[in-house]
A and B are shown apart, each in its own frame.
Chain A
Amino acid sequence: MKLVLALLTILAAPIAQAKESVTVGLASNFSELSTVSFSPFGGYFKDAINLAISDNQKILDKSQIEIVLQDFDYGKDEINVLKKAKEAALSRSIVVMGYNYSSPALLSAPIHVEQKLPVIYPSASANRLSTFGKYVHLGSFSNKFMVETLAKIVSQTIKAKKVLVLAAVDCAYCMDLVKSFEEEIKEYDTEIVKTIQLLEKDSDFTKVAEEAKKLKFDAVFVPCQELTAARLISALTEAGITKPFLGADGWGNEGSEFFRVLKGKKFTGYSVTHWHPKLATQKSKKFVADYLKRFNKLPNDTSVLAYDSMTLLIQTLAKTKPLTRENLEKNLSLVKTFDGITGKAYWGAHQAPRKDIVVLKTTDTGFAIDQIKAVARE
């Protein structure tokens, strides 16, 4: 009997193991090395994807789906995004995930729409991404959403009447935040004294600090990426400016690189982000532990957003039969809620989700959670 059962199991195994292979494209700047070894850009993204696949293997097995990952590396030059998006469209990928920042996301979106290849942006937050409609899916809240919280901090927490804005004109994400802030702040009794334009690619902001010193303001809005923001705050602090600084998710949440640049300068800062490694939820703790164990490093917000998006994708793939681009697109469009590591997310049609937002406050050595604003479903 045991022998018969064994024989039946062996015979049935090939049938049971006939999985459908599905290609998922990963688009990122894999080959670009960070200015510091701490944060190689594409690595955190891919690590999280692999972890998500591992953690959701049961779902995949149950659905008889085997995910094959295909990299589309656009490297350091974001213009290569155009070429890679077209390559992805011609590939076997039924979906592409990645384009982790606003600029590559904005460049790739029209191509994905034109080529009818669904794309998931786990971390890009540009407002205009919500205007493309079909085939574009967003995993994180928008710049406008972040600015709503920041404007409240400016008005209610800092009680600033006058704000200085530092705008990096060569950064789409930065300018998007500036524009959103300029519109949002009108709702409050606060004015923008000046918007100083600068270039993100610069490293010396002495002249910006000198110009800022001549002005009177109560707070400084620095909507830049981590390194640029740290350099700007360092320059202004050195110039004697002691007003609070505000930033968005571009500042990061872990803070090692940010505070390394600041070299112990004291300042008061507020930022908003998607998640923090010290978030006390069970899901978050487990994720951090698994990530640390597997990759011997702490995850950052790129990782956690990628993990959540990949988890959502796997869940959607499991429901998609047959596995085609159109079918997947249809099912992705039906997703309205998701409860991930980064909290609950609620989507309108092809819109950026409304999600829990974490407000960070700077300490002497890093970022600490100030508050978490949970959002309710509308």
Chain B
Amino acid sequence: MSKTKSLKGRVSDISIYSFICMSVVMFVCFWAYSVKKNHIAIAQIKSELSLNLKNQTSQFLRSYLLPEQRAGMDLILAGIRNDESLDEIKILESVSDIPNNFTDCKLNETAVTTCSTKNFAITSVIAPLHDSEKTYAYLFKARKNSSAKSVSDAMQFAGAAVFIIALAFFVIYLRLRNLTAKQLPDSMDQLTKWIEAEIEGKEIENITLGFSELEDLKKKISTVIERANKSREQAIIGQVTSGIMHDIKTPLHSIVTATHLVDEQRADSEDRPMLLENLFNMCRNNIPLIREIIETTLDGNRNIQINKSTANLRDTIDKAIAVTKEFSRFRNVSVEVDAPAELFVDYDSTQFARVVNNLLKNGIEAAAETSTTPKVKISATQNEKNINLIVEDSGIGFKGSPDKAFRAFRTTKVRGTGLGLLISKKIVEAHNGKIKASNGSTYGGARMEVELPLGG
């Protein structure tokens, strides 16, 4: 599975790549501009140096051929040097007269040639002094290329610019990093707190998210939560009502039936006392049951109070097996126990009995509905710190995330409030214990594991 990159990492990548691209592009542009400018400057120098070349070569040739004028060549050279702002001008008699700092200079007996120093700092033209048949010497003129210096200046400037851009990018990167590493996570935490509070229906003050986008998101989430809450409330009301109505329907029906039987008798009927006794018994047996059903439903929505005392957990397990004996026998589910005879621990035996009863009952129902050899195993072990109680069944196990089983009204059973595991979890957590749902490997069904601390 590919790892999702953090916002901080992406910002870092973007900053680095942008900086590199910008620097490279800028450097290349500077270099290209400088080189182009240099070439243009060199071409311009060549053009300027060649402008009066024909007259000058004619003049020098005359002076070269006429001894009377030979002595004056220096003055003519000085005049041209001054007029054309040359760095060097001389008459060459052979290749060896070419200044050393010029590379690849060749003498052509009939045509003007050009050459430069290694770094194109100085450009020169060399014109032959020749008549139609013979070349006598060469006129060498050279001028500095101010653009060559500007090439190195431009590169230095480019370097400085890259440094400044790097600095700017670094500052931007630090700002963005602060934004992504601190401000945004802080704001996300604030938003998470707000969401939690909103879900739990609590008021939370001084929430500053720092980003308008998150504020907008907060508003949208608020709308969604409100809509979800409304749906959930309706569902809760529906489920609770349905659950309560379902569970109290039987005992209520017994009471109603007994009441009808009494109504049908005349006041002076001989059976009336018996029927009234029957009604009384029905009320005595079923009203507590009805109360328990209502209490259980309410427990799903309130904190559970426990009273701990040292007792033997094995007894609670045995009682739970006894209570569910008819239930399991009716469903042909075998219940196996694997627990030491003594498991003394500080706990509320009454409340914890509800946990064991609920886990055992769920396991029996799950095994009965889906397995050909339905089994449930309840086991318990003890170590230095905890007692571990495990209930495994041979049902189909949990589809999806087992943790969702502890949510209210997440029952898969046709009958039931969907609050059993939620209340079990509340009771366990009231004991500072843990309860965990998973798919077991013993029978292939659900595995419920309760960890009860010995210290309480």
Query: Residues of A with Cβ closer than 8 Å to B?
Result: 77-79, 82-83, 86, 102-103, 106-107, 126, 128, 167-173, 175-176, 179, 197-199, 201-202
Q: Within the complex, what minimum Cβ distance (angstroms) separates B109 from chain A?
A: 16
Chain A minimum-CB-distance residue to B130: A79
Q: Is the CB–CB distance between B68 and A126 below 8 Å?
A: yes
Query: Residues of B with Cβ closer than 8 Å to A?
Result: 58-59, 61-63, 65-69, 71-73, 75-76, 79, 131-132
Contacts of A173 in B (CB 8 A): 68
Q: Is the CB–CB distance between B66 and A106 below 8 Å?
A: yes
Q: Is the CB–CB distance between A172 and B68 below 8 Å?
A: yes
- Interchain CA distance A199-B131 in the complex, whole Å: 23
Q: Is the CB–CB distance between A197 and B72 below 8 Å?
A: yes
The 7 closest A-B pairs by CB, nearest first: A169-B72, A172-B68, A175-B68, A82-B131, A172-B66, A79-B58, A176-B68
Contacts of B66 in A (CB 8 A): 103, 106-107, 172
Contacts of A169 in B (CB 8 A): 69, 71-73, 75-76
Q: Is the CB–CB distance between A107 and B62 below 8 Å?
A: yes
Contacts of A79 in B (CB 8 A): 58, 61-62, 131
- Interchain CA distance A172-B65 in the complex, whole Å: 10
Contacts of A170 in B (CB 8 A): 59, 63, 69, 72, 75-76
- Interchain CA distance A103-B72 in the complex, whole Å: 14
Decide yes or no: A175 and B58 within 8 Å by CB, A197-B75, A199-B79 being known contacts: no
Contacts of B58 in A (CB 8 A): 77-79
Q: Is the CB–CB distance between A199 and B68 below 8 Å?
A: no
Given contacts A172-B68, A175-B68, A179-B68, 19 further A-B contacts (CB under 8 A): A77-B58, A78-B58, A78-B62, A79-B61, A86-B132, A102-B68, A103-B62, A128-B67, A167-B72, A168-B72, A169-B69, A169-B76, A172-B69, A175-B69, A197-B72, A198-B75, A199-B75, A199-B76, A202-B79
Decide yes or no: A82 and B132 within 8 Å by CB, A172-B66, A172-B69 being known contacts: yes
Tell me the dominant secondary structure on chain B's binding face: helix
Chain B minimum-CB-distance residue to A171: B69
Chain A minimum-CB-distance residue to B134: A82
Q: Within the complex, what minimum Cβ distance (angstroms) separates B424 from chain A?
A: 118
List 7 interface pairs A-B (beta carbons < 8 Å), by A numbering: A78-B62, A79-B62, A103-B66, A107-B66, A169-B76, A199-B75, A201-B59
Neighbour of A106 across the interface among B61, B68, B75, B131, CB < 8 A: B68
- Interchain CA distance A176-B68 in the complex, whole Å: 6
Contacts of B62 in A (CB 8 A): 78-79, 103, 107, 172
- Interchain CA distance A125-B177 in the complex, whole Å: 94
Q: Within the complex, what minimum Cβ distance (angstroms) separates B131 from chain A?
A: 4
Contacts of B68 in A (CB 8 A): 102, 106, 126, 128, 172-173, 175-176, 179
Chain B minimum-CB-distance residue to A178: B68
Contacts of A197 in B (CB 8 A): 72, 75
- Interchain CA distance A78-B68 in the complex, whole Å: 15
Contacts of A168 in B (CB 8 A): 72
Q: Is the CB–CB distance between A175 and B71 below 8 Å?
A: yes
Q: Within the complex, what minimum Cβ distance (angstroms) separates A130 from chain B?
A: 14
- Interchain CA distance A324-B242 in the complex, whole Å: 149
Give the residue among A78, A86, A198 with the most B Cβ atoms within 10 A. A78
Q: Within the complex, what minimum Cβ distance (angstroms) separates B67 from chain A?
A: 8
Contacts of B67 in A (CB 8 A): 128
Contacts of B72 in A (CB 8 A): 167-170, 175, 197, 199
- Interchain CA distance A78-B69 in the complex, whole Å: 14
- Interchain CA distance A171-B79 in the complex, whole Å: 15
Chain B minimum-CB-distance residue to A86: B132
Contacts of B132 in A (CB 8 A): 82-83, 86
Q: Within the complex, what minimum Cβ distance (angstroms) separates A279 from chain B?
A: 30
Contacts of A126 in B (CB 8 A): 68
Contacts of A167 in B (CB 8 A): 72
- Interchain CA distance A301-B211 in the complex, whole Å: 103
Contacts of B65 in A (CB 8 A): 107
Contacts of B61 in A (CB 8 A): 79
Contacts of A201 in B (CB 8 A): 59
Neighbour of A83 across the interface among B63, B73, B131, CB < 8 A: B131
- Interchain CA distance A200-B79 in the complex, whole Å: 12
Contacts of B79 in A (CB 8 A): 199, 202
Chain B minimum-CB-distance residue to A176: B68
Contacts of B76 in A (CB 8 A): 169-170, 199
Q: Within the complex, what minimum Cβ distance (angstroms) separates A86 from chain B?
A: 8
Contacts of B73 in A (CB 8 A): 169
